[in-house]
Structure 1
Amino acid sequence: MKKKLLLSLCATSALAISGCTTVADMAGADSATLNMSAAQGFNKTVQEARSKNTLDTSSATYKKIYSAFVKLKPYADQMNQTGQKFDWQLAVLKSDTINAYVAPGGKVVFYTGIVNKLNLSEAEVAAVMGHEMTHALEEHSKQKLGAQALTNLAVGIGKSYAGSQIGELGNAAIDLGSQVGVGLPYSRSLESRADQGGLMMMARAGYNPQASITLWEKMAKQGGAQGSAILSTHPSDAARINAMKKNLPAAMAVYNARGGK
Structure 2
Amino acid sequence: MRLIKSFLIGSLLLASSACVNTQTTRQGAVGIERQQLMLLSSQEMTQGASQAYDAILKEAKEKKTLNTDAVMLGRIRTVAQRLIPQTAVFRQDAPAWDWQVNLIKSDQLNAWCMPGGKIAFYTGIIQKLALTDDEIAAIMGHEMAHALREHGRERASEAQLTQIGLTALQVFTGIQGPALDATAMALNVTLTLPNSRTHETEADRMGVELAARAGYNPYAAVNVWQKMSKMGNGGTPEILSTHPAPDNRIKDLQKVAKKVEGLYLKAKK
Normalising by structure 2, report the TM-score.
0.68
1:87 aligns with 2:93: no
1:206 aligns with 2:212: no
1:45 aligns with 2:56: yes
1:240 aligns with 2:266: no
Structure with higher Rg: it is 2
Task: Give the 4+ runs in structure 1 shifted more than 6 A.
Answer: none
Residue aligned with 2:37, SS:
helix
Measured after TM superposition, the shift of residue 192 of structure 1 is 1.8
Kindly tell me: are residues 186 and 97 of structure 1, through their superposed partners in 2, closer, same or farther at Cα, counting changes over 3 Å?
A: farther
Q: Hey, what does 1:98 align to over in structure 2?
A: 109
Q: Hey, what does 1:217 align to over in structure 2?
A: 226
Q: Hey, what does 2:198 align to over in structure 1?
A: 189
Identity level (%) = 37
Deviation string for 1:77-102 (max 9, x for gaps)?
44225789521011211000011111
Equivalent residues of 1:54, 1:94 under 8 A apart: yes
1:254 aligns with 2:263: yes
Greater relative contact order (Cα < 8 A, sep 6+): 1
Aligned length: 209
Residue aligned with 1:56, SS:
coil
Equivalent residues of 1:20, 1:146 under 8 A apart: no
The partner residue of 1:128 within 125, 130, 139 is 139
Equivalent residues of 2:67, 2:104 under 8 A apart: yes
Deviation string for 1:135-176 (max 9, x for gaps)?
1101112112225759xxxxxxxxxxxxxxxxxxxxxxxxxx
Q: Hey, what does 1:2 align to over in structure 2?
A: 8
Residue aligned with 1:109, SS:
strand
Structure 1 unaligned regions, length at least 5? 11-17, 151-183, 226-231
Measured after TM superposition, the shift of residue 19 of structure 1 is 8.9
1:18-29 pair list within 5 angstroms = 21-22=37-38, 24-25=39-40
Distance 1:58 1:68 in 2: 16
Residue aligned with 2:120, SS:
strand
Distance 2:99 2:72 in 1: 19
Structure 2 unaligned regions, length at least 5? 1-6, 17-33, 162-192, 235-240
Measured after TM superposition, the shift of residue 63 of structure 1 is 2.0
Deviation string for 1:102-148 (max 9, x for gaps)?
11000001111111111111110000000111111011121122257
Kindly tell me: are residues 20 and 66 of structure 1, through their superposed partners in 2, closer, same or farther at Cα, counting changes over 3 Å?
A: closer
